[in-house]
């Protein structure tokens, strides 16, 4: 069972980390787009790697208190790569607009659903192999993480989209995005924190490897 205060620690650290990390793609893309606009997608993906690394490190440091054998380096690296993939998927529709416009409506719909699911599940899928070494039922983390980001991204677009207007000062555009990003981070962190706390409560293996002789009953090697 997670120690008292786990959810608060997770929410605070993950909110701050994602809020700070979310600025990386925007900052990198803005600096690159002015001189090399053709590299904007690459710059966003690289910024996503930084965002994922910051987020993953914060998550891992909080989890380390509950799962002492968790690999902080592994969790961080997995999250960084997954965040890059998520940015790539998210940018693909606009970047490759001439390509997918040639597809039939049915194929477009199927691709949109598959891409959306992969985007939402990317972090959870990447983190699950590390989590399953320590927590039973870790497959639920994929669904929980996806739900957290579904709500978080929904909050971001609900706040930012109505406020963004063509021709407004760049500083105002960035400020709106930053505020929406903080709200996104806070909402996603809260939901993912509830899911992780529940997993730790019901499936914590104590960060010890399962015995090959456990016969699937979860008995730990002593």
DSSP class per residue in 89-137 = HHHHHHHTHHHHTTS-HHHHHHHHHHHHHHHHHHHHHHHHHHHTTTBTT
The answer, yes or no, to whether residue 44 has pLDDT greater than 60, is yes
Please report the pLDDT score of residue 46 as a whole number. 85
Comparing CA positions, the residue from 27, 31, 30, 32 lying closest to residue 54 is: 27
Rounded Cα gap, residues 207 and 17, in angstroms: 25
Distance of CA 131 to the CA centre of its chain: 15
pLDDT digits (tens, 9 = 90+) for 21-31: 988 777 776 66
Q: Are 62 and 10 in contact (CB under 8 A)?
A: yes
pLDDT digits (tens, 9 = 90+) for 58-95: 999 999 999 999 999 999 999 999 999 999 998 887 77
Q: Are 135 and 203 in contact (CB under 8 A)?
A: yes
pLDDT digits (tens, 9 = 90+) for 155-213: 999 999 899 888 888 778 878 888 999 999 999 999 999 999 999 988 665 444 433 33
pLDDT digits (tens, 9 = 90+) for 106-148: 888 888 899 889 999 999 999 999 999 999 888 999 999 999 9
pLDDT digits (tens, 9 = 90+) for 85-113: 999 998 887 777 777 777 888 888 888 89
Please report the pLDDT score of residue 207 as a whole number. 44
In sequence order, which residues have a C-beta less than 8 Å from that of residue 52 and are 6 or more positions away? 21, 79, 80, 81, 82, 83, 84, 123
For 210: left if phi > 0, alpha if psi spans -120 to 50, otherwise beta; the answer is: beta
The answer, yes or no, to whether residue 215 has pLDDT greater than 70, is no
Range 22-42 average pLDDT: 71
């Amino acid at each position: 069972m997670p120690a008292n205060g786990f959810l608060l620690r997770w929410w605070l650290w993950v909110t701050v980390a994602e809020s700070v990390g979310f600025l990386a793609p925007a900052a990198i893309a803005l600096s690159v787009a002015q001189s090399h606009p053709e590299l904007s997608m690459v710059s966003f993906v690289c910024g996503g790697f930084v965002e994922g690394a910051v987020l993953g490190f914060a998550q891992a440091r909080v989890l380390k208190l509950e799962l002492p054998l968790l690999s902080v380096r592994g969790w961080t690296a997995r999250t960084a790569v997954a965040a890059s993939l998520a940015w790539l998927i998210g940018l693909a529709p606009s970047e490759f607009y001439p390509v997918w416009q040639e597809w039939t409506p049915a194929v477009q719909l199927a691709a949109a659903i598959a891409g959306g699911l992969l985007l939402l599940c990317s972090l959870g899928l990447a983190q699950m192999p590390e989590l399953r070494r320590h927590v039973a039922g870790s497959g639920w983390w994929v669904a929980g993480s996806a739900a957290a980001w579904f709500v978080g991204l929904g909050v971001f677009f609900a706040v930012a989209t109505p406020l963004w207007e063509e021709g407004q000062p760049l500083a105002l555009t960035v400020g709106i995005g930053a505020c929406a990003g903080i709200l996104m981070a806070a909402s996603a962190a809260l939901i993912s924190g509830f899911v992780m706390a529940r997993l730790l409560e019901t499936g914590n293996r104590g960060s010890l490897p399962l015995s090959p002789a456990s016969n699937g009953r979860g008995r730990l090697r002593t």
